[in-house]
Amino acid sequence: MPFRKGARFTLENRADEPITAFYQFDYVLTDIPEDSLYFHAWFNRVNPNPYKADYTLLDVAGAGHYAGTYMAWGVNNNGWWGEGEIKFYIDGDKEYPTICGTGTEDYFGGSYNFEDPGAHDRYLAFTTPYSGLNQIITPNTLYDSQFRFGLYRWHITDPICFEENLRITIQALGWRSGGRFLPLQDDIASVAFYYKTLPQAPFPALADRDYLEVI
């Protein structure tokens, strides 16, 4: 996380009770190349996701490269939930993105529904250096409603570079009867990690703790 003039970190307690926090910062004071980009991270959450609307992971102007995604996905219905395509709209893309994925499960390194190949009736967490399904909050019965998943994908070996702007969206799609798509109205949250030139437009204010609480 390069900085030239200074750095400030803050921690906000949104609870009514005081907390005790422990922390450690490791840093080096050194010269920073003129072309170094600044690290950014943007949190978003929509609950529920509007019907037939794509979820927005990032929408930013400037030049830089995209470094990775963490998503917390809460499924509000029975059935498969990970069919949606991720779309990278780069440098002025309008209707069609420069990069379009083949499905949520594929983007996060899964296959065939993150299904346990031995049991075939439950999800199976996995972790790799660059992608994974690292958290499953039960009920751990395949396709049941109210699952909560944590997924990550790091673009370390395949950064998404942009010169003017970058907008990233992902569809919330499952399946319904007759092989038809089911637009999902799920509880979706994410953190987008990226490096970019300054200035950075102000981020939207975080919602209050009642909206952000997972219930």
Beta bridge partners, 182, equal: 174
Q: Tens digits of per-residue pLDDT, 60-76?
A: 999 999 999 999 999 99
Domain map of the chain by residue range?
40-205
Provide φ and ψ at 181, rounded to 5°: -65, 145
pTM: 0.91
pLDDT, tens only, 14-47: 889 999 999 999 999 999 998 899 999 999 999 9
- Report residue 174 as tokens: 């499952």
3-state secondary structure of 118: coil
Question: What pLDDT score was predicted for residue 140?
Answer: 56
Q: Mean per-residue pLDDT for 43-58?
A: 96
- The top-level CATH class assigned to 40-205 is mainly beta
Q: 127 has which bridge partners?
A: 132
Q: Which residues contact 158 (CB under 8 A, 6 or more apart)?
A: none
Evaluate if residue 7 carries a pLDDT over 80.
yes
Q: What is the mean pLDDT of residues 123-137?
A: 90
The residue written with tokens 């990226």 in the block is 194
pLDDT at 121 over 80: no
132-157 as b/e: b if 16+ CB within 10 A: bbeebeeeeebbeeebebbbbbbbee
